[in-house]
Amino acid sequence: MYVILHGLFWTAVAFSTHRVQVDKYPVLFGLLIASALLSVAAGLGMWFWKRWAGYLYLVTGMAMGLLVTMLSGDLWLALGSFLPVIVVMYVIYPKLME
């Protein structure tokens, strides 16, 4: 559930930065929205303990951290977007590998 909320939160963050950054970098903004929505899909997959969902969440978390850094230039936002990925993967990775 936490993973789904994290994806929805970062989707909302991406939409809130829409007015500021979409004119300058529309491709990066589109990739940020796509990675946030894929993060929600990964959360739904992890709800059913699917192995692919863990890998998808890891990739989308890294993408969100990179894209947030490129769009805002703020490393604290990047840490905020990637830290939950580290915690979730630390907790559930052994279960996914069984």
15 vs 21: which has the higher pLDDT? 15
The domain spans of the chain are 2-96
Q: What is the average pLDDT value for the chain, to the nearest integer?
A: 79
% helix, strand, coil for the chain, step of 5: 85, 0, 15
Q: pLDDT tens-digit profile of 81-97?
A: 788 888 888 887 787 66
Burial of 26 (0-12, 13-18, 19+ CB in 10 A): exposed
3-state secondary structure at position 49:
coil
Q: Is 36 or 16 the better-scoring residue by pLDDT? A: 36
Three-state SS at 54: helix
Instruction: Give the containing element (helix H, strand E) for 60.
Output: helix 51-72
Average pLDDT, integer, range 40-56: 86
Dihedral, CA of residue 7, residue 81, residue 46 and residue 56, to nearest 10:
100
The arithmetic mean of pLDDT across residues 46-59, rounded, is: 86
Taking the model in full, what pTM does it have? 0.76
What H or E segment, with its residue span, contains residue 6? Answer: helix 2-16
Mean pLDDT, rounded, for 73-86: 78
The pLDDT score that the predictor gives to residue 80 is 77
